[in-house]
Structure 1
Amino acid sequence: MNRKITNNNYQGYELTRDRLLDEAEDLFAQRGFHAVSVREITKAAQSNLAAVNYHFGNKQNLYLEVFRSRWLPRASQIQQRFRQSLNNNGTPTPNLVIQSFARAFLEGPMSNEERTRHLKLISGELVQPTEAFELVVEQVFRPLFTNLLQDFKNVMPDTLDEKQMVLNVFSILALVLYFNFARPLIYSFVGGREESDLETRLVDHIVQFSLSGVGSGKEEIGQ
């Protein structure tokens, strides 16, 4: 009997914790870390300050946990999709590397709502970094860039200068991230959300534009 009560209590604690994370993520994404109070989070989650203290200790730890348990797993899913596409489509080429990378972001596993929260959270960190910024850099961006750079080294001519290769990879990364971030603006100029092939068109554009920029040859663009 006591064990059953304990299990029920545990499930209740976990549900409360999840609600706090869900509401905190939404509020932090909308307004940023500094503009959101713990009181607002607990009200939205139908909880109380004691629950925040019990599960996270303080607002800063709650914010970091939003990144650890929500943001980082989504970023990991994108990287896994990129790697799977690269590994499952034959011999890697510059075309395939860029295409797989762009598709992972633009056609990736997130819903529109998840993508919006995901992008707003990282945008806030880029504008006003907190402790979460270092977490994201060390666990996501640095490994992502290092791996992407190596992918290009494996498929590009040896004659390319190392520093130029780094700049090329940063340019491709910036292009993909911008097209992912600026979707509403892009939609308003080149087509609405009702166009089912719009993401594919954007991916194709990124591939062709990037290949022209890195100088891999016209024959590669057509592949």
Structure 2
Amino acid sequence: MVSATLLDTAIDQFGRLGFEGASTREIARASGTAMSSITYHFGGKQGLYLAAAEHIAAQIRALQGEPVARAVAAGQQSREAAIEALANVLDGLAQMMLRPETESWSRFIIREQQSPTEAFELLFTRAMQPILDAFIVLIIRARADLARRDAVAMAILLFGQAMVLRAGRAAVCRALGVDQIDEETGALLRNRLRANVLCILSEKPQ
């Protein structure tokens, strides 16, 4: 069985240094794993890189999969239920972005966003797309006036409001005059995010 420590170390190293800069020898050393184990399980650096992407995707699915599925089901009951369900999904996403372990995930993912490889396809299809699809379904239920393309655009931008809590962490802290996002600051941001989505989705269809 492949060690989670190895994959977590690989995510951290690839995120900090990029694919070219990271060394499988250093990843093995830092994780207490033999180099031969990396070769045996992954075939080399590229295989380890893709496994690291899959490990991120699996952890996101573990955190978001069930709550998102429940929200989509609940949102089918009415327009109001869809609005509340989407607010809950967005809050769950925000909470994930505030978790310490997502720091290393974000470095890896941001590199893939800027210069997509096979790993991006894996991350998008297995982790991002299911959440984005849920956003779209709930937005369409809440805002029947929107064309699908508009609903997709709204989903992307709402998604981004949660993402900034991790990808834009330094700017968030600087703007709020804090050194880190503590529990009180996190609650402020989550409450504001919820208010934003309720305001946007509560607009009466024309």
Does 2:146 align with 1:160?
Answer: yes
Higher RCO, Cα 8 Å, sep 6+: 2
Residue 52 in structure 1 maps to residue 52 in structure 2: no
Task: Report the equivalent of 1:75.
Answer: 60
Q: Relative to structure 1, is the Cα distance of residues 24 and 105 closer, same or farther in structure 2, using a 3 angstrom cutoff?
A: same
Alignment correspondent of 2:11? 25
**Paired residue for 1:115, among 92, 102, 105?**
102
Could you list the per-position Cα deviations for residues 81-100 of structure 1 after superposition, in whole angstroms to 9, with x for gaps in the alignment?
Answer: 34446667996545423421
Structure-1 separation of matches of 2:33 and 2:151: 51
Equivalent-residue separation in structure 1 for 2:69 and 2:89 (angstroms): 8
Distance in structure 1 (CA, Å) of the matches to 2:35 and 2:181 = 43
Please give the per-residue CA displacement for 1:4-61, whole angstroms capped at 9, x wherever unaligned. xxxxxxxxxx47x444323212211221222112222222233443221112111111
How far 1:172 moved relative to its partner? 1.0
Equivalent-residue separation in structure 2 for 1:215 and 1:104 (angstroms): 20
The one-letter amino acid paired with 1:34 is E
* Count of aligned pairs between the two proteins: 200
Is 1:102 aligned with 2:90?
yes
Corresponding residue of 1:11:
none
Task: Tell which deviates more after alignment, 79-88 or 50-59.
Answer: 79-88
Looking at structure 2, the residues matched to 206 and 94 of structure 1 have their Cα atoms a distance apart, in angstroms, of 16
Q: How far did 1:106 drift? A: 2.0
Residues 57 and 127 in structure 2, CA contact (< 8 A), matched pair in contact too: yes
Query: Is the contact made by 2:24 and 2:45 (CA closer than 8 Å) also made in structure 1?
Result: yes
TM-score after normalising by structure 2: 0.80
| 2:88 alignment partner, SS class | helix
Where do 5+ consecutive residues of structure 1 fail to align? 1-13, 218-223
C-alpha distance after superposition, 1:59-107 (max 9, x if no partner): 1111111122x20122111343344466679965454234212211222
Give the counterpart of 2:175 among 189, 201, 205: 189
Equivalent residue number for residue 131 of structure 2 = 144
- Say yes or no: does 1:35 pair with 2:25: no
1:65 matched to 2:55? The reply is no
1:45 and 1:20, CA in 2 relative to 1: closer, same or farther beyond 3 A? same
Aligned pair in 2 of structure 1 residues 129, 190: CA closer, same or farther (>3 Å)?
same
Change in CA separation of 1:154 and 1:84 when aligned onto 2, cut-off 3 Å: same
5+ residue gaps, structure 2: none
Residue 187 of structure 1 aligns with an amino acid whose one-letter code is C
